[in-house]
């Protein structure tokens, strides 16, 4: 049933203003008691998302996969892993979401497959020089006997980006080859210069479009093509080669301009022009959003030119320090970057790869106050906001015990990894599994006791709870931010105060610790209590 108050549902460019909720499938809701979230679990919780007030959900990969990188290692792009259900469950999820006026974005992983993908198995069996190997990046090693990797590239998950295979053909005098994996060794990179690869992904896009999905989140969209020479990365004196994407502990770092022959090659844009046509051929309301860790706002904007993808995650907002000046700079740069190509900006504070923002901002009461304030400021901005499951409950990064860690980067580097933001959602009850699954079935990462006060059940209807704050903020966004147009004016910087105006809406974010007088006006939303002053670490919308 279309909601007449909803300006987005009937808009073919719905994504331009959408709030998209990221579902990390393993950790959202478990319907069958195996401790792992699944598609029927998501379907059963769709009414919750509708009531929260989001417009769409993005679901992380649920395809057939050995789960070495929790689904980002795909063995069959057009089937559902039995862990998560069956294809019919995907159909039911999409249909139910649409009945509730929620759009569905699925994840597409085109940079690499799983090492259990039939193509990679065939490549290993076929040996050097075969057409099967030509779908991946197999190369001879360097050094006199080929026993060193072909170049100095590092995996994003740590260690060399190359693994040498046990080659059946080495008995015949040929040397064993190496294959490239910019992520885990179980995630071999495809060779996008081989036309078979592009054709295969066009089929995958069409398969899911036929199933009714509304869009795609394109994993590692800046990958795909590598500089053809596969030359060494030029590294600054005294530094090690770096993948340039995330820190080894998977907290994000600001990116300096690096030499990156493995990322963001000009040829990749041809792929997105082709996909644009595929999406268009199905309907003008289908979209794609890029996960592209590019080095500058301009190179990010290249992915969202009118004939390419529709949006790109804007990680600058997530990387910004807690300061009015940083937020201000990101808003100005982002709007300036997307304006020339006519794309809508995006904003995100948390996802399944980074430390949750309440923890990044210091944790505890202050971290949560800042997280809520940054969220409210974000929701005022034109464009789309991407939320990550559990942030609406004020969840923090969990300190997962070493024996419970499962992130492949933990196994490659011994660094903590990303498990702490992937702990299953607490829905209700007083003890684990907090309603995540039926009965006492314990989730795949243990939940901490502190989840007790943070469950959906414990926060629903409770004034001042983070969940009720998100509901109110999303309702206020529909009522006051969306109708206010897309023009943003940043008021001259004033110490710790970020002030921006969007039409009649005035947004004040106090990043300092001292109260500032609240200007006259009606309070439309606030991230915490306000009186005639705006306390530190608080955001308010005035009408
Ligand atoms: C993206 C995903 C991340 C995954 C990686 C490899 O960065 O967000 O979770 O590990 O790609 O597919």
Q: Give tens-digit pLDDT for 357-376.
A: 999 999 999 999 999 999 99
What is the position in ligand 1's atom list of the atom closest to the CA of 73?
A: 12
Mean pLDDT of 11-29: 97
Q: What one-character-per-residue DSSP string does 78-146 give? A: EEE-TTT--HHHHHHHHHHHHHTT-EEEEEE--SB--TTSHHHHHHHHH-TT-TTGGGBTEE--BSTTS
- Which of 154, 219, 310, 407 is an active site residue? 219
For all residues of the chain together, what is the average pLDDT?
A: 93
Count helices and strands (H / E) in the chain.
Answer: 14, 20
Pairing of strands 505-510, 538-542: antiparallel
pLDDT for res 349: 98
Q: Which of 181, 183, 246, 291 to mutate to test the pocket of ligand 1 (most atoms within 8 A of CB)?
A: 183
pTM of the model: 0.96
CA–CA gap between residue 349 and residue 482 (Å, rounded): 20
Give 170's pLDDT tier (boundaries 50, 70, 90): low
Q: What is the Rg, in whole angstroms, of the alpha carbon atoms belonging to the chain?
A: 23
Question: With pLDDT > 70 as the criterion, what percentage of the chain qualifies?
Answer: 94
Q: Is 263 in the pocket of ligand 1 (CB under 6 A)?
A: no
Mean pLDDT of 196-215: 98
Q: Is 24 in the pocket of ligand 1 (CB under 6 A)?
A: no
Ligand 1: centre distance to CA 478 (Å): 31
Pairing of strands 19-23, 56-59: parallel
Taking a C-beta distance cutoff of 8 angstroms, is the pair 304, 341 a contact?
A: yes
The yes-or-no verdict on residue 4 having pLDDT over 70 is no
The two structure tokens encoding residue 290? 């890029």
What is the position in ligand 1's atom list of the atom closest to the CA of 184?
A: 6
Q: Is 25 in the pocket of ligand 1 (CB under 6 A)?
A: no
Biggest distance spanned by C-alpha atoms of the chain: 83
Q: Does the domain formed by 118-180 have CATH 2.130.10.10?
A: no
CA–CA gap between residue 187 and residue 156 (Å, rounded): 11
Q: What one-character-per-residue DSSP string does 257-284 give? A: P---TTS--TTHHHHHHHHHHHHHHH-T
pLDDT for res 492: 83
> Beta strands of 5-75 (E only): which ranges?
19-23, 56-59, 63-64
**Third-level CATH fold of 14-113+195-473:** TIM Barrel (3.20.20)
Q: Which of 67, 72, 184, 412 to mutate to test the pocket of ligand 1 (most atoms within 8 A of CB)?
A: 72
Active site residue 167: no
Enumerate residues 6+ apart whose C-beta is below 8 A from 344. 13, 15, 16, 17, 310, 311, 338, 382, 383, 384
pLDDT for res 287: 98
CATH node for 486-542: 2.60.40.1180
pLDDT for res 1: 39
Domain ranges of the chain: 14-113+195-473, 118-180, 486-542
96, burial (CB in 10 Å: exposed 0-12, middle 13-18, buried 19+) = middle
Q: Which of 70, 220, 248, 412 to mutate to test the pocket of ligand 1 (most atoms within 8 A of CB)?
A: 220
Report the SS3 class of residue 358: helix
Q: Does 14-113+195-473 match 486-542 in CATH topology?
A: no
Q: Is 69 in the pocket of ligand 1 (CB under 6 A)?
A: yes
pLDDT for res 173: 61
Which range among 218-232, 242-256, 490-504 has the greatest average pLDDT? 218-232
Give 245's pLDDT tier (boundaries 50, 70, 90): low
538, burial (CB in 10 Å: exposed 0-12, middle 13-18, buried 19+) = buried
Mean pLDDT of 259-264: 94
* Position with higher pLDDT, 292 vs 253: 292
Give 294's pLDDT tier (boundaries 50, 70, 90): confident
What Å distances lie between residue 25 and 52, 84, 286, 419, 447, CA to CA? 18, 8, 22, 14, 16
pLDDT for res 240: 72
């Amino acid at each position: 049933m279309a909601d007449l108050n909803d300006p987005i549902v009937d808009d073919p460019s719905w994504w331009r203003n959408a709030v998209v909720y990221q579902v990390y499938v393993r950790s959202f809701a478990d319907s069958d008691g195996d401790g792992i979230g699944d598609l029927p679990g998501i379907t059963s919780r769709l009414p919750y998302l509708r009531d929260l007030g989001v417009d769409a959900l993005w679901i992380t990969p649920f395809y057939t996969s050995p789960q070495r990188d929790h689904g980002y290692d795909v063995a069959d792009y057009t089937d559902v892993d039995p862990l998560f259900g069956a294809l019919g469950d995907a159909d039911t999820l999409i249909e139910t979401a649409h009945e509730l006026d929620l759009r569905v974005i699925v994840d597409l992983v085109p940079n690499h497959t799983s090492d259990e993908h039939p193509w990679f198995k065939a490549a290993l069996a076929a040996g050097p020089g075969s057409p099967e190997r030509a779908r991946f990046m197999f190369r001879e090693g360097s050094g006199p006997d080929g026993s060193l990797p072909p170049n100095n590239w590092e995996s994003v998950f740590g260690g060399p980006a190359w693994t040498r295979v046990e080659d059946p053909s080495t008995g015949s005098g040929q040397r064993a080859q190496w294959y490239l994996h910019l992520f885990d060794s179980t995630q071999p990179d495809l060779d996008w210069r081989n036309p078979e690869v592009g054709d295969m992904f066009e089929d995958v896009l069409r398969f899911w479009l036929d199933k009714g999905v509304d869009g795609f989140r394109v994993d590692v969209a800046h990958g795909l093509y590598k500089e053809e020479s596969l030359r060494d990365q030029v590294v600054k004196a005294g530094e090690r080669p770096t993948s340039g994407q995330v820190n080894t502990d998977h907290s994000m770092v600001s990116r300096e301009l690096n030499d990156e022959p493995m990322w963001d090659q000009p040829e990749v844009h041809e792929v997105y022009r082709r996909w644009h046509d595929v999406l268009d051929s199905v309907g003008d309301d289908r979209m794609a959003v890029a996960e592209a860790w590019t080095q500058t706002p301009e190179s990010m904007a290249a992915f969202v030119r009118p004939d390419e993808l529709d949006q790109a995650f804007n990680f600058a907002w997530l990387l910004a320090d807690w300061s009015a000046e940083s937020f201000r700079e990101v808003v100005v740069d982002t709007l300036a970057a997307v304006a020339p190509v006519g794309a809508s900006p995006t904003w995100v504070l948390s996802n399944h790869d980074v430390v949750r923002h309440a923890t990044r901002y210091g944790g505890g009461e202050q971290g949560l106050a800042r997280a809520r304030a940054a969220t409210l400021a974000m929701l005022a901005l034109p464009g789309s906001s991407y939320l990550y499951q559990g942030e609406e409950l004020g969840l923090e990064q969990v300190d997962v015990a070493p024996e419970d860690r499962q992130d492949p980067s933990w196994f490659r580097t011994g660094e903590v990894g990303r498990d702490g933001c992937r702990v299953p959602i607490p829905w209700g009850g007083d003890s684990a599994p907090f309603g995540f699954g039926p009965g006492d079935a314990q989730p795949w990462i243990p939940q901490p006791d502190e989840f007790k006060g943070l469950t959906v059940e414990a926060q629903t209807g409770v004034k001042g709870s983070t969940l009720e704050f998100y509901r109110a903020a999303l309702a206020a966004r529909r009522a006051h931010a969306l109708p206010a147009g897309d023009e943003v004016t940043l008021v001259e910087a004033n110490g710790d105060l970020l002030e921006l105006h969007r039409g009649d809406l005035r947004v004040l974010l106090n990043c300092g610790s001292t109260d500032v007088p609240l200007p006259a006006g009606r309070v439309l939303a606030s991230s915490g209590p306000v009186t005639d002053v705006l306390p530190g670490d608080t955001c308010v919308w005035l009408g």
